[in-house]
Chain A
Amino acid sequence: MTLHEKIIAIIAEQAVLDVSDVTMDSTVESLGLDSLGLVEAIFAIEEAFDVSIPFNANDPAQSGFDMSSVGAIITAVEGLLAQKAA
């Protein structure tokens, strides 16, 4: 499974959707993920890739982690992995 597929699978599971319903353009809202679902998805991504995602549910915009779309989340995780490797 590629990184893309893995993240999409995690998000799809939390949103109770088929992986085919989750696209790069999908937003958290369009997938129907509530704040708790989002927190669980972030935790699952952290566990899967052994990274720490800076996310505060009180102020997601200030978390410094772009969660505007699935594509943005994938890019951000790639960034964290690159930082970790460096």
Chain B
Amino acid sequence: MRRVVITGAGTINALAHDVPSTWAAMQAGRCGIAPLDIPDVDRLSVRIGGQVRGWDASAHLDRAVIASSDRFAQFALVAAQQAMAQSALVVGDGLDCGVILGTAGGGLQTSDDSYRAVYAEGKTRVHPLTVPRLMQNAGASHVSMAHGIRGPVFTVSTACASSNHAMGLAFQMVRSGAVRAVLTGGSEAMLCFGGIKAWEGLRVMSANACRPFSRTRDGMVQGEGAAVFVFEERESALARGADILAEVAGFAMTSDAGDLVAPSVDGAARAMRGALLDAGLAPGDVDYINAHGTATAANDRTEAAAIAQVFGASPPPVSATKAMHGHLIGGTGAVELLACLLALREGVIAPTIGFEQPDSDCALDVVPNLARSAKVDVALSNAFAFGGLNAVLALRRAT
């Protein structure tokens, strides 16, 4: 079977606008969550988020592209640009390359603005490109056009697991030989009034901070941004002398078929076990887990129980980087894969910041507040979505 490696990475998120600066921020345990700067914030009860600051689309994209794209697609485009620059992938006629991106909300900003215009402001007209801006596949399509990629191009939308499902499919398609390379990851731009208001309704958001696995945690905090990677067939990457960031070793997805919102220990545990089996690895081989770690009472307790079920009494270090960049919903797995690359490539485990007090329901080594040096050969990245959908990736250090 073909092996799959990562030869490029790009990102824009609340911590930074590229991968090296994001890694530096993760290593420093910096928090990108701050008071939100959006219209009508005074009518929200949640007023913090991991917002991308200093965003200037015109610094990266031309006028026509900006006019035809939502913020979520612009984030995807810029992250893909960076990943392609690092990878130096030769696309050629593009027929054997693909783009598979995750997003939950798609062009939510466009929907929000347009609804505001017609309902609140009583306008009778919306922008002519409203539909092509808001469609969920807009990010993937824009990336395909920017890089001449003409093979399989599509979007995966599975709420908070979207990016992991997207990257898992990309991995499987490269491994099977269906394509040589895929630009994959995810993006989200849900920090608009309607996007936050909808989450408020569930009563699972924190008004203060994201404190995964801490006894004092009181909910999740949203973020926004994107991360995109070049997944490439290993032999062709080696043949062209590409720098290999890590190997994608395994992937598994499971469904709880239980509750629409309450997480399941069994579903999460089966996904972790499945990813290890797919990679030909044993639980004892894993040196680091990037947790889903949303800082809700239910997720963290359930995830800790699932980790205990798979890894027994002495699980590897686990960290939840959402405390730094926020929960990017459909883009979250992609940004969190950066923490896995940091661990595998630089030997740095990003911390779980905002940690105050241990919780006996979450008896894990959560790498509290300070990054840690460690030799990490194998890492897992967890994503568990509403709808009971679980997607876990296993990564191996480049050899």
Which residues of A pack against B, CB within 8 Å?
34-36, 39, 42-43, 52, 55-59, 62
Contact = CB atoms under 8 A, between A and B. Distances in A.
Nearest to B294: A58
Interface of B: 45, 201-206, 217-219, 260-262, 296-298
A35 B15 CA distance: 33
Given A39-B202, A43-B201, A58 B261 contact: no
A43 B218 CA distance: 19
A57 B219 CA distance: 8
16 contacts: A34-B262, A35-B298, A36-B260, A36-B261, A36-B262, A39-B203, A43-B201, A56-B203, A56-B205, A56-B219, A57-B203, A57-B297, A58-B206, A58-B219, A59-B218, A62-B218
Contacts of B297: 57-59
B22 to A, nearest CB: 28
Contacts of A55: 203
Nearest to A59: B218
A56 B204 CA distance: 6
A43 B260 CA distance: 18
Contacts of B262: 34-36
Given A34-B262, A52-B45, A56-B219, 9 more contacts: A35-B262, A36-B261, A42-B203, A57-B203, A57-B204, A57-B297, A58-B204, A58-B218, A58-B297
Contacts of B203: 39, 42, 55-57
Contacts of A39: 201-203
A55 B201 CA distance: 10
A28 to B, nearest CB: 14
Contacts of A34: 262
A59 B220 CA distance: 12
A58 B202 contact: no
A64 to B, nearest CB: 12
9 residue pairs, one from A and one from B, having the closest CB atoms: A58-B297, A57-B203, A58-B219, A58-B218, A59-B218, A39-B203, A57-B204, A58-B296, A55-B203
A42 B202 CA distance: 11
A39 B219 CA distance: 15
Nearest to B216: A59
Of the candidates B203, B204, B206, B296, the one having the most CB atoms from chain A within 10 angstroms of its own CB is B203
Of the candidates A39, A42, A52, A55, the one having the most CB atoms from chain B within 10 angstroms of its own CB is A39
A56 B296 CA distance: 10
A58 to B, nearest CB: 4
Contacts of B296: 57-58
Contacts of B261: 36
Contacts of A62: 218
Contacts of B205: 56
A62 B206 CA distance: 12
Nearest to B219: A58
A14 to B, nearest CB: 14
Contacts of A52: 45
Contacts of A56: 203-206, 218-219
Contacts of A59: 218, 297
Contacts of B45: 52
Of the candidates A42, A52, A55, A59, the one having the most CB atoms from chain B within 10 angstroms of its own CB is A59
Contacts of B218: 56, 58-59, 62
Contacts of A57: 202-204, 219, 296-297
B89 to A, nearest CB: 43
B77 to A, nearest CB: 35
Nearest to B297: A58
Contacts of B206: 56, 58
B258 to A, nearest CB: 12
A38 to B, nearest CB: 9
A35 B202 CA distance: 10
A55 B219 CA distance: 12
B171 to A, nearest CB: 34
A13 to B, nearest CB: 18
A59 B261 CA distance: 17
B43 to A, nearest CB: 12
Nearest to A62: B218
Contacts of B298: 35, 58
A35 B218 CA distance: 15
B210 to A, nearest CB: 11
A58 B296 CA distance: 6
A39 B202 CA distance: 7
